[in-house]
């Protein structure tokens, strides 16, 4: 009998297999619970594909951007605010995949593994989320963009709070255009995309800041040199050489003046002198090629590649043309690093509940390494841009530093860029304005930047 | 107390080891305490059922009170007249059946009565079978007739279903006549364990298991024809367990498994519609309104309930088809919480361990084999059910023992519990003087 | 309603946990201790095997519960089963053997050689199965085994207890296993009764003796073994009903014991047929055939 009863150990194997399965099941419950519970098919919180029970999303002043009232999502009453914050908070249906309502769905419905969504169901309200963005600044930015496609980004370079993140084209959630899917004119191109996070653009002259940083770090006598601009720069006579056309004939200029007037000849010359390796190294050190995490969402990577390029290509790359594409957020962080003495603070969107903050790894981003000395020098140069060239009158009372850009693109008008920051003690904000096919940076981006920064300055 | 008795007791106490002390402590549970706990549980869990939709369902109250008093009555009668002491297995079965009753009543107020009747019938079958199993001679006597009868019964019911009933839920496994329906395969499960197990002298006298193989293959074949793949799988698995316990020959079993796998592949190859039934396996999220409907709803609502549930009657899974039968584990997780759901299925695993422990000192290898195979059958069915609806295994549509609504399954599980109980010498205190 | 839900969310899991844990612990841990129900004593080697399962297989093979390594024993030879109505021995090769015998019988009419599956209980051949009781001599092939019961199934226990009240230190006498003295000490734990009365037993005479009641002859017991019988024995009997070598008196640690070796004729102690060796106490009467022997004397 003992030989038979010994074989009962087969039951142990079954029990072990059972517990293994149970473990896998519970783990997948734990790992995917939030995703599953916030699925659109969950009739506890969704009805007809729309969220019915979810928490309120507040802006930095506690203004409700979207809340739930009687099983319906209610958005901000001001149309411009609705349109300006659309891409941050997302829509009720979840078309905008990077919106807070989509990304933080599980948190908004108050899901946690222990209680499920019991509290949400029993009290009919979910968990609230507070954002760092300002409703008024967003509305102002949206208005300032004046119908242009593009993005405006503002963040506090000392704390990392994103004050404004507007992406256009946009729409009003209460009055969604019916022809979005059928339109062929291109006015709704990428309407569900948040350009600040998932867009990349040719940087144009704003990239000269990068070339300047590379030059400062690698050419010791850069401030003592003088350059001559004849309206164009001829890289040589060999194969793959050619002319880099300048935006004007600047004559004899020094380094600072060359950046002020955004002289293509000088920067193409510098880029070629520095060479592909040093340029690539600097670009890498400044974090291009890495994506930035804003909580749960990651930005797309900026691309910069000089492999197999000719002297002419390097020249064009040095002034932000060629194949270079940058993400607006990346430019924002670069400005933040320059403004903050070399330390780039990671931007973030969600300020509470505090457990969501833990997804922001550390305040100082390891993406960008910039020495304090270089940062100071670049800050001086950028301040000089505004003071001596654009004019402080363009930014009344803001003490701005910055660089414009007019990136030439194959189709249509150039992208109008402005990247900059204020050096006022009580206004530690960096701004990036990028207007797709908006025109010249000087004429089109600066007024937008000014309007937004004025709104930021008015913010309490 | 006489002097001698006192002396014996003193002697016994002084020679007690640690194991003896544990044995004495856990010899039996406090029956009144557990019954009280059961009563409290059932009263609390039925509150939302009785007072739902702003009405008071007196019918439900009556049925609940009947069930609770039946539990007390049963234990009382068994204690006084049969001198039974151990009711642990019965308590677990009462508890699980109670949960099943509560959920059934909660989803459909009218179906509770039928379910209650089947619980009572299950208990009766349990006690009759337990009484029958106490004498190994009559057990060994009935095996061959039972094998022949159940194989004929299964075949006949398949023919009947094919001719007069037709498919229900894609399978020919419901025998229904005049408003009454049952699943023949559930009853053959009992016979399967009966026929598979044997006492040691019979096992050694004819070492071959050909007769059993023929019987098992006959059952599994008919189940395949019925398209009841879940039950066929349970039978096959139980067959593996029983034949391993009988022969201990791993090589043959691996060989049988390989043949079965080949056969399954053949079926999938030549009959693609069979494979199509399991096409959504591991892809349920790609078709949440079609083939993956049930599984995704189970997952969504199970996690929605959290560890402690949203409260009985507040769930959403109840509106999904088969919520009280196949998907009942999801319903428990949503409304009573994942915690209770896990305890319930762990209880089945613990009972399998118990079957293993008690089968070592069972009064015959018949009891050892039958207890282990019955416990393995229940646990395997539990696995198929809960992992099927959570998409860890293909969805085969088997029930969760005791809890799923349905008479055949309820009676069968009670009967399988009788096999488990019979291996424990404590089940027959009069015969084995365990007290 | 919401309050009830909020409370029952925690009450229900708590009760579930209590019920399931309590029941499962009892199922797992409250199992009765393994008992020794009887013994099989190999009379050739003096080996003693405990029967502590309800079904015990016995044979030459290593997979058997009791392995007897003799050539004449089949790989699996017999199964001892303890049923609710007593003990049985099953000849598991019976069917095979019968078939074989039929074939051989048809061929050469000599199935005698096939001794490997023979089972005898007290010399009677077992075909399919037979009941066995305390003290029976079982022959497997040509190996003689003695079967002893330590714990009878319930039905007999009641009767036994009643009887034991009549004769004083009954538990000792009834349950005293009396075969292997050395082993007895080792396995002391497995014997259930250790009678404290033993020390107070009266010591009448230092020399134990057997007195023939009919002739008045007295025989002083000395040595380790004393044979009784009609033939060449230490104590000669004249009764026709006595066997040549009818009974044996053996000196154990606890004193003299009487054991029957006549087979069918039987030896009676105080009017009761003995099936296993029994300790003798002063005043006991051993009846053999129509002769009665009186035992007198203390115990060592």
ipTM of the complex: 0.94
Chain A residues with CB inside 8 Å of B295's CB?
none
Chain length of chain B:
435
Does A146 score more than 50 pLDDT? yes
Which pair of tokens denotes residue A419?
A: 């990247």
Task: Chain B: give the shortest CA distance to residue A423, in Å.
Answer: 50
Residue A389 lies in a domain: yes
CA distance C86 to C83: 5
Which chains touch A (3+ CB pairs under 8 A)? Answer: B, C
**Mean pLDDT to the nearest integer, C50-74:** 89
Q: Is the pLDDT of residue C136 over 90?
A: no
Residue A268 and residue A154 share a domain: yes
Determine contact, residues B398/B234, Cβ cutoff 8 Å. yes
Which token pair is B411? 């009676």
Contacts of B392 in chain A (CB under 8 A): 21, 24-25, 28
Confidence of residue A362 (pLDDT cuts 50, 70, 90): low
- Confidence at residue C164, expressed as pLDDT on a 0 to 100 scale: 38
Question: Which chain A residue has the Cα nearest residue B339?
Answer: A114
Under an 8 A CB cutoff, do C6 and A122 touch?
yes
**C152 pLDDT band (50/70/90 cuts)?**
low
Contact indicator for B246, B203 with CB cutoff of 8 Å:
yes
Q: How confident is the model at residue B332 (pLDDT cuts 50, 70, 90)?
A: very high
Residue C167, pLDDT above cutoff 60: no
Query: How many angstroms away from the CA of A29 is the closest CA of chain C?
Result: 19
Distance from CA of C244 to the nearest CA of B (A): 39
pLDDT at B357 over 50: yes
Query: Percentage of chain A with pLDDT > 70?
Result: 98
d(CA B365, CA A3): 10
When CB atoms are compared, the residue of A5, A22, A36 closest to B303 is A36
3-state class (DSSP) for residue C87: strand
pLDDT at B207 over 50: yes
Helix (H, G, I), strand (E, B) or coil at B343: helix
Question: What pLDDT does B83 receive?
Answer: 87
How far apart CA C56 and CA A2 sit, in angstroms, is 8
**Cα gap B26→B9, rounded to integer Å:** 19
Q: Which one of A1, A118, A122 has the shortest CB-CB distance to C55?
A: A1
Interface check B86 vs C, CB under 8 A: yes
Q: What is the pLDDT of residue B153?
A: 93
Q: Are residues A255 and A368 in the same domain?
A: yes
Residue of B54, B153, B46 lying closest to B100 (CA atoms): B46
What pLDDT score does C97 carry?
A: 72
pLDDT (mean) for B234-247: 92
Where is pLDDT greater, at A100 or A181? A100
**Residue A240: pLDDT band with limits 50, 70, 90:** confident
Domain presence at residue A7: no
What pLDDT, on the 0 to 100 scale, is given for residue C185? 37
* pLDDT beyond 70 at B20: yes
Within-domain flag for A344: yes
Verify that A316 and A415 share a domain, yes or no: yes
Rounded to the nearest integer, the mean pLDDT of chain B is 90
Which structure tokens are listed for A62?
A: 């506690």
Q: Residues B86-109: pLDDT tens digits?
A: 999 999 999 999 999 999 999 999
Least confident of A427-436, B79-88, C92-101, C270-279: C92-101
* Judgement on whether residues A210 and A149 belong to the same structural domain of the protein: yes
Q: Which residue has the higher pLDDT, B61 or C299?
A: B61
Q: Compute CA A186 distance to the chain's CA centroid, rounded to the nearest angstrom.
A: 23
Q: How far is it, in rounded angstroms, from Cα A402 to Cα A454?
A: 15
Q: Do residues A126 and A145 both lie within one domain?
A: no
pLDDT score at B208: 67
Contact A36 B353 (CB under 8 A): no
- B358 contact residues in C (CB cutoff 8 A): 27, 31
Q: Which of A110, A131, A152 is the last residue of a domain?
A: A131
All residues at 6 or more sequence positions from C187 whose CB lies less than 8 Å from its CB, including other chains: C48, C50
- Residue A201 has what DSSP assignment? B
Q: Would you say residue C178 has pLDDT above 60?
A: no
- Mean pLDDT is lowest, of A199-203, A223-227, C190-194, for C190-194
Query: How deeply is A76 buried, as exposed, middle or buried, from its count of CB atoms within 10 A (0-12, 13-18, 19+)?
Result: buried
Say if the Cβ atoms of B199 and C53 lie within 8 Å: no
Q: Are A233 and A268 in contact (CB under 8 A)?
A: yes
What confidence tier does C191 reach under pLDDT thresholds 50, 70, 90?
very low
Position A394 pLDDT exceeds 90: no
Selecting from A2, A118, A122 the residue whose C-beta is nearest the C-beta of C53 gives A2
Q: How far apart are the C-alpha atoms of B300 and B310, rounded to whole Å?
A: 13
DSSP state of A124: T
State the pLDDT at residue C108.
54
pLDDT at C157 over 70: no
| Residues in chain B closer than 8 A to A36 (CB atoms) | 296, 299-300, 303-304
Of B351 and A406, the one with more pLDDT: B351
In angstroms, the separation between the Cα of residue B164 and the nearest Cα of chain A is 39
Rounded CA separation B32/B403 (Å) = 24
Same-domain status, A335 and A255: yes
End residue of a domain, out of A71, A105, A131: A131
Closest by CA position to A350, among listed A338, A362, A340, A358: A358
Average pLDDT over residues B12-31: 78
Lowest mean pLDDT, pick from A97-106, B141-150, B377-386, C3-12: A97-106
Please report the pLDDT score of residue B6 as a whole number: 59
CATH of the domain at A228: 3.40.710.10
Confidence of residue A97 (pLDDT cuts 50, 70, 90): confident
- Compare all CA atoms of chain C with the CA of A6 and give the residue at the minimum distance: C63
Q: Do C53 and A3 touch (CB under 8 A)?
A: no
pLDDT for position B268: 81
pLDDT band per the 50, 70, 90 thresholds, residue B397? confident
Q: How near does any CA of chain A get to the CA of B352, in Å?
A: 7
Query: d(Cα C152, Cα C147) in Å, to the nearest integer?
Result: 12
Report how far residue B203's alpha carbon sits from residue B371's, in angstroms, rounded to the nearest whole number: 16
In chain C, the residue whose alpha carbon lies closest to the alpha carbon of A2 is C65
B32 contacts: CB under 8 Å, gap ≥ 6: none
Render pLDDT for A110-131 as a digit per residue (tens, 0 to 9).
Answer: 888 999 999 888 887 778 888 9
**Who wins on pLDDT, A353 or A448?**
A448
Q: How far is B79 from chain C (nearest CA, A)?
A: 17
Q: In sequence order, what are the residues at sequence separation of 6 or more whose Cβ sits closer than 8 angstroms to the Cβ of residue B435?
A: B85, B429
What local confidence, expressed as pLDDT, does residue B11 receive?
A: 53
Give the best-scoring range by mean pLDDT among A83-97, A415-429, B121-135, C196-210.
B121-135
Mean pLDDT of B27-48: 94
Contacts of C182 (CB under 8 A, 6+ apart): none
Q: Are residues A333 and A195 both part of a single domain?
A: yes
Measure CB to CB from residue C95 to each of B134, B205, B351 and give the nearest one.
Answer: B205
Q: In terms of residue numbers, what domain contains A126?
A: 46-131
The CA distance from A374 to A379, in Å, is 8
Q: How far apart are CA B103 and CA A429, in angstroms?
A: 59
Residue B130: pLDDT band with limits 50, 70, 90: very high
**Residue appearing with tokens 């096939």:** C114
d(CA B306, CA C265): 80
Question: Per the CB < 8 Å rule, is B363 touching C30?
Answer: no
Q: Looking at the predicted structure, is the pLDDT value of residue C200 above 50?
A: no
Per-residue pLDDT for A61 more than 90? no
The pLDDT value recorded for residue B177 is 76
* Residue B413, pLDDT above cutoff 90: yes
* Residue C200 touches chain A, beta carbons under 8 Å: no
Decide: A263 and A249 in contact? Cβ < 8 Å. no
Q: Summarize the confidence of residues C235-254 as an average pLDDT.
A: 79
Cα–Cα distance for residue pair C155/C150, rounded to 1 Å: 14
**C-alpha to C-alpha distance for B114 and B70, rounded to whole angstroms:** 16
Interchain pair C63, A1: CB under 8 A: no
Task: Give chain C positions within 8 Å (CB) of A1.
Answer: 53-57, 65
Mean pLDDT on A244-262: 85
Q: Which of A424, A405, A339, A423 is nearest to A374 (CA)?
A: A339
Beta bridge partners of A245: A232
Token duo for residue A410: 């194959």
B-contacting chains (≥3 CB pairs under 8 Å)? A, C
Which residues of chain B does C26 touch, with a Cβ-Cβ cutoff of 8 Å?
26-29, 86, 88
Question: Does residue A17 lie within any of the structural domains?
Answer: no
Identity of the residue in A2, A3, A122 whose CB atom sits nearest the CB atom of C2:
A122
* Least Cα separation, residue B67 to chain C (angstroms): 18
Please, how many CA atoms are within 13 Å of residue A350, restricted to the half-sphere of its CB?
26
Q: Which of A176-190, B244-258, C149-163, C172-186 is most confident? A: B244-258
pLDDT score of B16 more than 80: no
Distance of CA A277 to the CA centre of its chain: 27
Q: Are residues A66 and A150 in the same domain?
A: no
Residue among B311, B349, B368 minimizing CB distance to A15: B349
Q: Taking 60 as the threshold, does the pLDDT of residue C256 lie above it?
A: yes
- The answer to whether residues A159 and A217 belong to one domain is yes
Answer yes or no: do A181 and A70 share one domain.
no
Q: Is C138 helix (H, G, I), strand (E, B) or coil?
A: strand
| CB-based contact A37 B300, cutoff 8 Å | yes
Structure confidence at residue C135 as a pLDDT band (50, 70, 90): confident
Chain A residues in contact with chain C using a Cβ-Cβ cutoff of 8 Å: 1-3, 118, 122
* Whether pLDDT at A46 is above 60: yes
- Average pLDDT for A36-65: 86
* One domain for residues A84 and A165: no
pLDDT at A198 over 70: yes
Of A4, A21, A29, the CB nearest to B303: A29
Residue at which a domain ends, from A91, A107, A131: A131
**Per-residue DSSP letters for A341-384?**
TTPPBPPBSEEESHHHHTTS--SB-SS----HHHHHHHHHHHHH
Measuring CA to CA, which residue among B137, B130, B199, B142 is closest to residue B428?
A: B130
- Surface of A (7-66) touching B: CB under 8 A: 7-12, 14-15, 17-19, 21-22, 24-26, 28-29, 32-33, 36-37, 39, 41-44
CA distance C12 to chain B (A): 6
Please report, for the domain that includes residue A116, its CATH number.
Answer: 3.90.1310.10
Which tokens sit at C150?
């330590």
Out of A1, A118, A122, closest to residue C57 by CB? A1
Strand ranges (DSSP E) for B173-287? Answer: 175-177, 180-182
What pLDDT is stored for residue B9 in this prediction? Answer: 59
Residue B209 to chain A, least CA–CA distance (Å): 15
Nearest-CA distance A74 → chain B (Å): 24
Give yes or no for a cis peptide into A353 (omega within 30° of 0): yes
Going A51 to A55 to A60 to A63, the CA torsion angle's sign is positive
Peptide bond just before A169 cis, omega within 30 deg: yes
Same domain, A125 and A208: no
> Higher model confidence: residue C163 or residue A3?
A3
**pLDDT tier at B7 (50, 70, 90 boundaries)?**
low
User: Using the 8-state DSSP alphabet, how is residue A307 labeled?
Assistant: T
CB atoms B342 and A26 under 8 Å: yes
pLDDT of C197: 37
Q: Would you list the domain boundaries of chain B?
A: 3-127, 135-434
Kindly tell me if the per-residue pLDDT of A441 is higher than 90. Answer: no
> Does A326 reside within a domain?
yes
Average pLDDT on A23-36 reads 94
What is the DSSP secondary structure assignment for residue A57, as one 8-state letter? E
Reported confidence tier of residue A68, pLDDT bands at 50, 70, 90: confident
In a domain, A394, yes or no: yes
CB C39 within 8 A of CB C51: yes
Average pLDDT of the residues of chain A:
87
Quote the number of domains for chain A.
2
Q: Is the pTM of this model over 0.80?
A: no
Digit-coded pLDDT (tens) for A268-294: 888 888 888 888 888 998 888 888 888
Q: Are strands C291-296 and C209-212 parallel, antiparallel or unpaired?
A: antiparallel
- pLDDT > 70: what percent of chain B? 95
pLDDT of residue A317: 86
Angle between helices A10-37 and B293-305 (to 10 degrees): 80
């Amino acid at each position: 009998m003992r030989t038979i009863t010994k074989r009962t150990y087969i039951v142990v194997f079954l029990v072990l297999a059972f517990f293994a399965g149970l473990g896998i099941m519970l783990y997948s419950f734990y790992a995917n619970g939030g995703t599953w519970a916030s699925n659109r098919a969950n009739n506890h919180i969704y009805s007809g594909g729309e969220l019915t029970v979810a928490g309120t999303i507040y802006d930095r002043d506690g203004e409700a951007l979207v809340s739930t009232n009687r099983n319906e999502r209610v958005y901000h009453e001001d149309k411009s605010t609705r349109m300006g914050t659309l891409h941050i908070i997302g829509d009720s249906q979840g078309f905008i995949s990077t919106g807070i309502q989509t990304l933080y769905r599980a948190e908004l419905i108050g899901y946690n593994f222990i209680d499920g969504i019991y509290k949400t169901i029993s009290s009919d309200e979910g968990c609230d989320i507070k954002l760092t963005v300002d409703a008024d600044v967003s509305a102002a930015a949206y208005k300032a963009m004046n119908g242009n496609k593009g993005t405006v980004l503002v963040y506090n370079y000392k704390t990392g709070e994103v004050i404004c993140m507007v992406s256009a084209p946009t729409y009003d959630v209460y009055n969604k255009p019916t022809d979005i899917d059928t339109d062929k004119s291109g006015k709704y191109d990428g309407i569900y995309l948040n350009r600040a996070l998932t867009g990349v653009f040719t940087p144009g002259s704003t990239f000269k800041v990068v070339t300047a940083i590379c030059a400062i770090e690698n050419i010791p006598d850069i401030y003592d040199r003088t350059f001559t601009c004849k309206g164009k720069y001829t890289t040589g006579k060999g194969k793959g050489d050619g002319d880099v056309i300048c935006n004007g004939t600047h004559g004899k200029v020094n380094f600072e003046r060359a950046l002020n007037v955004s002289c293509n000849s000088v920067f193409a010359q510098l880029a070629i002198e520095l060479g592909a390796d040093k340029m690539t190294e600097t670009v890498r050190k400044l974090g291009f090629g890495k994506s930035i995490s804003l909580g749960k969402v990651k930005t797309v990577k900026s691309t910069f590649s000089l492999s197999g390029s000719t002297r002419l290509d390097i020249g064009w790359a040095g002034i932000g043309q060629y194949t270079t594409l940058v993400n607006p957020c990346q430019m924002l962080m670069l400005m933040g690093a320059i403004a903050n003495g070399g330390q780039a603070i990671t931007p973030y969107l969600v300020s509470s509940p505090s457990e969501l903050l833990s997804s922001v790894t550390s305040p100082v981003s390891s993406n960008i390494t910039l020495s304090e000395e270089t940062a100071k020098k670049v800050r001086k140069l950028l301040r000089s841009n505004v003071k001596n060239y654009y004019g402080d009158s363009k930014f009344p009372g803001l003490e701005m530093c910055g660089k414009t850009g007019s990136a030439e693109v194959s189709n249509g008008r150039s992208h109008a860029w402005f990247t900059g920051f204020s050096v006022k003690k009580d206004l530690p904000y960096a701004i990036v304005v990028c207007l797709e096919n908006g025109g010249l940076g000087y004429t089109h981006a600066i007024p937008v930047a000014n309007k937004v920064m004025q709104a930021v300055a008015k913010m309490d | 107390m006489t002097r001698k008795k006192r002396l014996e007791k003193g002697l016994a106490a002084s020679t007690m080891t640690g194991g003896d002390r544990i044995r004495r402590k856990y010899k039996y549970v406090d029956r009144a305490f557990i019954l009280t706990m059961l009563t409290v549980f059932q009263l609390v869990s039925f509150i939302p059922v009785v007072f739902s939709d702003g009405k008071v369902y007196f019918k439900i109250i009556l049925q609940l009170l009947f069930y609770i008093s039946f539990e007390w009555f049963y234990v009382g009668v068994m204690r006084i007249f049969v001198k039974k002491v151990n009711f642990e297995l019965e308590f677990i079965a009462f508890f699980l059946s109670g949960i099943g009753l509560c959920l059934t009543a909660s989803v459909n107020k009218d179906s509770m009565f039928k379910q209650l009747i089947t619980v009572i019938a299950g208990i009766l079958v349990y006690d009759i079978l337990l009484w029958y199993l106490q004498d190994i001679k009559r057990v060994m006597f009935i095996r061959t007739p039972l094998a022949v009868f159940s194989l004929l019964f299964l075949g006949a019911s398949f023919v009947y279903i094919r001719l007069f009933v037709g498919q229900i839920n894609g399978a020919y496994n419901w025998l229904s006549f005049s408003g009454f329906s049952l699943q023949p395969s559930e009853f053959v499960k009992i016979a399967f364990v009966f026929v598979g197990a044997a006492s040691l002298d019979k096992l050694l006298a004819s070492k071959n298991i050909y007769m059993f193989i023929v019987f098992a293959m006959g059952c599994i074949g008919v189940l395949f024809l019925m398209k009841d793949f879940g039950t066929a799988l349970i039978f096959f698995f139980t067959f593996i367990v029983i034949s391993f316990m009988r022969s201990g020959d791993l090589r043959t079993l691996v060989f049988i498994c390989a043949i079965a796998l080949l056969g399954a592949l053949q079926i999938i190859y030549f009959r693609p519609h069979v494979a199509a039934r399991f096409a959504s396996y591991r892809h349920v999220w790609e078709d949440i309104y079609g083939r993956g409907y049930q599984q995704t709803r189970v997952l969504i609502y199970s996690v929605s309930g959290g560890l402690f549930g949203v409260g009985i009657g507040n769930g959403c899974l109840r509106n999904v088809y088969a919520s009280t039968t196949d998907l009942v584990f999801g319903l428990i997780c949503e409304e009573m919480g994942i915690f209770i759901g896990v305890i319930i299925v762990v209880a089945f695993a613990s009972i399998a361990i118990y079957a293993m422990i008690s089968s070592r000192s069972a009064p015959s290898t018949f009891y050892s084999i039958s207890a282990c195979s019955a416990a393995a059958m229940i646990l395997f069915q539990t696995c198929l059910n809960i992992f099927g609806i959570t998409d860890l295994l293909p969805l085969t549509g088997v029930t969760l023992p005791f809890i799923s609504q349905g008479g055949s399954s309820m009676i069968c599980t009670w009967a399988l519990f009788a096999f488990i109980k019979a291996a424990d010498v404590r089940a027959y205190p009069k015969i084995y003087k365990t007290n | 309603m919401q309050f009830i839900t909020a409370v029952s969310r925690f009450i229900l899991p708590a009760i579930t946990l209590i019920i399931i844990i309590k029941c499962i612990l009892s199922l797992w841990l409250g199992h009765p201790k393994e008992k020794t129900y009887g013994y099989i004593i190999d009379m050739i080697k003096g080996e003693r095997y405990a029967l502590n399962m309800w079904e015990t297989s016995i044979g030459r093979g290593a997979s058997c519960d009791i392995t007897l390594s003799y050539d004449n024993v089949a790989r699996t030879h017999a199964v001892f089963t303890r049923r609710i109505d007593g003990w049985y021995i099953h000849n598991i090769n019976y069917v095979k053997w019968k078939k074989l015998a039929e074939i051989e019988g048809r061929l050469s009419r000599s199935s005698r050689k096939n001794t490997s599956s023979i089972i005898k209980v007290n010399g009677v051949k077992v075909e399919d199965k037979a009941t066995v009781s305390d003290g029976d001599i079982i022959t497997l092939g040509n190996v003689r085994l003695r079967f002893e019961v330590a714990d009878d199934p319930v039905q007999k226990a009641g009767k036994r207890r009643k009887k034991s009240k009549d004769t004083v230190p009954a538990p000792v006498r009834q349950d005293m296993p009396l075969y292997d003295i050395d082993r007895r000490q080792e396995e002391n734990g497995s014997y259930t009764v250790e009678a404290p009365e033993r020390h107070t037993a009266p010591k009448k005479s230092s020399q134990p003796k057997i007195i023939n009641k009919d002739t008045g002859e007295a025989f002083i017991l000395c040595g380790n073994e004393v044979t009784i019988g009609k033939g060449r024995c230490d104590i000669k009997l004249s009764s026709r009903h006595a066997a040549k070598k009818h009974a044996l008196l053996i000196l154990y640690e606890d004193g003299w014991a009487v054991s029957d070796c006549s087979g069918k004729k039987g030896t009676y102690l105080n009017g009761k047929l003995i099936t296993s060796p029994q300790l003798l106490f002063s005043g006991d009467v051993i009846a053999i055939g129509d002769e009665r022997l009186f035992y007198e004397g203390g115990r060592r």
